[in-house]
Amino acid sequence: MAQSPISMMTTPTSFETILFDIAEGVATITLNRPDRLNALTTSISQEMLAALKTCARDDMVRCVVITGAGRAFSAGQDLAEFAQVDDDFSVADHLRHGYHRLVLAMHQLEKPILAAVNGVAAGAGLGLALAADMRIASDKASFVTAFIGIGLAPDSGVSWHLQRLIGPARAFELLATGRKVGAEEALRLGLVNQVVPAESLEETVNGLARQLAQGPTRGIGLTKRTLNKAADMTLAQALEYEAQIQEIALRTRDHQEGVLAFLEKRPPKFEGR
C-alpha cells in the first residue's frame, strides 16, 4: 500500500516539537507548539514515540508526565497539516503509523503515566490524555472530543478509553455532540482524577510523580498490566491472571524490601527492581 509522506515514521535524533526532561526518576514530555495549541503533527508524534521508548528503556525513569506548553494540553491533529495531504493519503495508515503506536506505547509502558492537563485537550489530544494512567487537571482545563465538529468518528483510542472511563451513554453524548466539558464536570464524570488551581498544577503533579517514582516500580508496572488484561477477561480468567502476576511480583526485590520494612517498622526504600 502506498504510504503518504505524513505517515512515514523515523526516529528523530533531537527534539524540536517536544521538550523532554528526566529528573529524580520522573521523565516529563511537554508538547511544545504553544502557538498552535500543541496541535499534533507527524513530527510531534515521532518525537513523543522516541521519548516514550527512552522511558521504557531507561531504568532511571520510574514515572512519566505528559503535559502541554502554554494555554493548551493539545488541540488534536494539526488540521493545517491535514489540509496539505495529496490524493494518495490514507487516513487509516496515518493513524496506524502515528497515534496507534503512541497510544499503544503508553498503554504498554509498565511505568505510571500522568497527564497534567493544563488547558484544552481535543481530538487526538484528548486521546493522549485518556491513554495516560491518571489525569490531573488544572481548573482551566477542558475536554472536547472534537472529531464530530469536522465530521469524523473517534480515533486515537478515544472510543476505547472514553466509554470505559465514563460509560457508553455519556461517551456517545460527548462524541456525537462535541460538547466541551469543563474541569469540574470532568471530575464528576470520572474523566480526571483530580482538579487543582492552575497555579498549583505543576507542584501537585510533580509531588505525585515523585511519590510514584519512589514506589515499587515493578509492582506498579505489573498492576498496570493486570488492569489492562482484566478489562477484557471473565472474572475466572482475571483471578487466574492475578495469580500468575503475583508469582512475578512476589519475586521482586521491592516486595522483599516492603515486607522487611514493615517488620522492622521503618519506611520502605524501593529501588524499582
Task: Give the active site residues.
Answer: 100, 155
The piece of 21-29, 89-97, 105-113, 242-250 that touches ligand T3D (CB under 6 A) is 89-97
Cβ-based nearer residue to ligand T3D, 138 or 226: 138
Residue whose CB is less far from ligand T3D, 2 or 263: 2
The DSSP string of 54-115 is HHHH-TT--EEEEEESTTEEE-SB-HHHHHT--TT--HHHHHHHTHHHHHHHHHH-SS-EEE
Residue with the CB atom nearest ligand T3D in the bound state: 123
Rounded to whole angstroms, the Cα distance separating 3 from 94 reads: 9
Closest approach, Cβ 249 to ligand T3D, in A, equals 37
- Contacts with ligand T3D in 237-266 (CB under 6 A)? none
What is the chain's alpha carbon radius of gyration, rounded to the nearest angstrom? 19
Residue 121 CB neighbour total at 10 angstroms: 34
* Site track for ligand T3D across 30-69, x = CB under 6 A: ------xx-x------------------------------
The Cα 78–Cα 82 span in angstroms is: 6
What does DSSP say about strands 142-144 and 181-182: parallel, antiparallel, or unpaired? Answer: antiparallel
Write out the residues near ligand T3D by the rule CB under 6 A: 36-37, 39, 75-80, 91, 94-95, 120, 122-124, 144, 146-147, 149-150, 152, 155-156
